Structure 1
């Protein structure tokens, strides 16, 4: 199992899920809204509308389905349900600063609320309201990141210059939606194509399909089944008698994996710049740009050994470096490498939707760093 914000969040996330999650959370997208000049939007104009659709309010029900055969890894939580199963989501979105996303489960629901300046999680099963404080450099992904508008804007916004081609329209949630296909130009990414269908007037993405390079079927799909493009009336959470209440830092990768804060990551690895967490890496950072970004986390010795053992049981291949050794695991489109430096005896976890060769090069450089 891998990372999760759907269930318990304390130190139970992030292993292979970093491979896909980095493309879901690391790329902001925000542009002004415009209207098309005609009813038939070509692929380039449709992409512009999509990237400018963040102000569009909406409410509805969506389902995402992941088909990655993810192994069980330590401290990874339950994100398997997001990347290797069906996730049912109900959303009320007033603006980028005000929204509510409910993950519907057999036991009830788990909600994430965003208000201006605040965020909260609500767990129906435990009757617990939690205020989430701060904006971590590398936020732990949430189920809401897989909503069609969020996923489409992040993926398309990561590579705004890559060419797009039109796809036949589909009727989604009662809307005739034109589509586009983006094939990433960077050979270092393992993502093969991204298909998006959107409202041709508002640009709101209605469905997304992500396919790994060399495959024919999507590894991740998300689409609305019900949708109204109107501003919802949001009922924000309040402390009620009989319910639990807590305050905690917003979930982040460094905390979830117990990253070694004293390890200062280098500003560049394998020719890729440190993009996130440069001011204070806290032992975790995102390297690279576009869809060929990858995560590096300096993990504790016991966790590194446990991830290495779990990866080996899942069919990983041993890796021998000049000053280190480890295990490499690929579950398309995700690549993972857990390596131990024989020079400093430190463990590093590397993961991303990138080629194994890029991670190998990065691991070689990391394992050779001085203590």
Structure 2
């Protein structure tokens, strides 16, 4: 099977830099002055369609990455850290753009990378990497013309791990591609790809909930924080994950919602950051970076086809500025991936941060008071 062609991914006009693209939206949202942690009332005042997010608490547990935590694996500067439980019981944290040296933009640019730890949420210490003493890129990516390979999800079905990547200059997704590993993430086999303009670009960023009914349920959006996007839902049999034709849309047509109808947005269109969709505790949890207003949010619902327009939104992370972080207030937050092993009473997410070249990391946060409905 042919691997995705690097030559077709080119930089945009003027060669949009990673710094410019990734930080778009975050810096603008924070503004030039100090922005205090936003209250639930402040969020509610700006919400469309009658949504009134419930603000809840949280606590930083630790830095997962950084010079002290992952520098020994030539990965002092990395983000995202999407956590996946490996078949052997360990945890793989899949990072995005990763650098060695003195800060972001330093030497040895790799993406994605895999960092290893145990799976106990009370002691998530990175003690290895794919590549040993030097974390390697998990898949071929030349970064020619500014292209990169940003993970949107990593998850496990049985004894197989899967990874979804968004390829191209960041926020100019040429295509997304899909990989699998049968050796706990040490090596990855290319499976398939989807064009970046499929479904109006709203199939670029995907997150997979592994259900107990034999399906994975997939939420997707545009991967560009500055572009309003629908949120689409598909399902795919777990034994056909690498077959694009097996992805069946959920949509509204002829007066009814049904599988097989053309894909229809399942919630209000908005500007999405990172998304994470998981089956959890007999229900489903969805977390995302909300761009307007900037916050990290969660919804909990009974079924993949629940009405998200009426499901309460809960604010789990709020923005602040460097030096003013406390509780669940984070300077320049993004990511928000749910840790395997989380429960609704002990809910942990991987939160990324980037506000200068030496403050670029993944952190573990525990969210307190998450409502199940």
TM range (shorter): under 0.3
Q: Whose strand fraction is larger, Structure 1's or Structure 2's?
A: 2
**What TM-score, normalized by structure 1, do the two folds share?**
0.22
Question: Which structure has the larger Rg?
Answer: 1
